[in-house]
Amino acid sequence: MYAVEVDNLTKIYGKGETAVTALQDADFKVKRGELVAILGPSGSGKTTLLTCIGLINEPTHGKVVIDGITVADEGWQGGIDLKRMRREKLGFIFQAHNLIPFLTAQENVMVALEINGLKRFEAKQRSVELLDALNLGHRVNNYPSALSGGESQRVAIARALANRPRVILADEPTAALDTENGRNVMDLLKKLAVENNSAIMVVTHDHRMVENFDRILEVSDGRIVAEKSNV
């Protein structure tokens, strides 16, 4: 039923007098098919929460379960291939698009599919479908240098969605987009959450998009201080 389970999740940077608690005692679950916003001021712990769930930042304490697999329990679990988990279970959308400059928009999406073993013909078809859905069908053969910032971000979003991951983690995915394209992205994320039975967690300051979420978690000073349902 749950794609993400977090129990008493804590992240402390540094030791002794210089220790900083960026995240403390986070405790929640995200259902498959659910779209969840993480709201809060800068420095509140939102991105730390995302990177701990995304298997990038090792938690100091607590437990993280992804798609039924315990990946962290007082530190990373032995025997878990974190790279494989990230590749097969997770999709990431960052503020910086990080596109490969010598690949076209379509090829940037295809590379994520081919790494996971999809045949080239199928990868081409899937990449075009995603780019079309993000209003980028006319840009499939363009290199990143020929794309606007908003277009590059949408290509990065298509790449993150390519393998139909169980969990999609997004850090300000609509920040570089105008209202219309921002709504298109959120509509697509909501549609994919349901169709692919995926959990999607989005760090955002973009209050234009809040109505699109099923649930909102508010973070302040490293703690989840409020939770609101839009359902």
pLDDT in tens, 184-230: 778 878 887 888 888 999 998 777 777 889 999 999 999 999 998 87
Average pLDDT over the chain reads 90
The answer to whether residue 134 scores a pLDDT higher than 90 is no
The answer to whether residue 34 scores a pLDDT higher than 80 is yes
pLDDT at 127: 95
pLDDT at 230: 78
pLDDT at 74: 95
Tens digit of each residue's pLDDT (9 = 90 or more) over 80-113: 999 989 988 999 988 778 899 999 999 999 999 9
Question: What is the rounded average pLDDT of the residues 165-190?
Answer: 83
For the record, the structure tokens of 40 come out as 């809060």
pLDDT at 186: 82
- Give the range of the structural domain holding residue 32, as residue numbers without chain letter: 2-229
Q: Which residues contact 213 (CB under 8 A, 6 or more apart)?
A: 35, 36, 37, 202, 230
Q: Tell me the percentage of the chain whose pLDDT exceeds 70.
A: 99
Question: What is the rounded average pLDDT of the residues 65-86?
Answer: 93
Residue 76 · residue 58 · CB < 8 Å: yes
Residue 65 · residue 2 · CB < 8 Å: yes
Nearest Cα neighbor of 224 from 40, 59, 66 is 40
Identify the band that residue 231 occupies on the pLDDT scale cut at 50, 70 and 90: low
pLDDT at 27: 95
- From residue 114, how far is each of 25, 63, 90, 161, 219 by CA, in Å? 38, 32, 16, 14, 37
Tens digit of each residue's pLDDT (9 = 90 or more) over 43-67: 899 999 999 999 999 999 999 999 9
Q: Which residues contact 123 (CB under 8 A, 6 or more apart)?
A: 110, 113, 114
Alpha carbon distance 137, 130 (integer Å): 9
Least confident of 87-101, 117-131, 176-190: 176-190
Q: Tell me the percentage of the chain whose pLDDT exceeds 90.
A: 62
Q: Which CATH number do you get for residue 84? A: 3.40.50.300
Tens digit of each residue's pLDDT (9 = 90 or more) over 18-32: 999 999 999 999 999
138 or 182, greater pLDDT: 138
pLDDT at 149: 82
Note the pTM of the prediction, 2 decimals. Answer: 0.87
Number of domains in the chain: 1
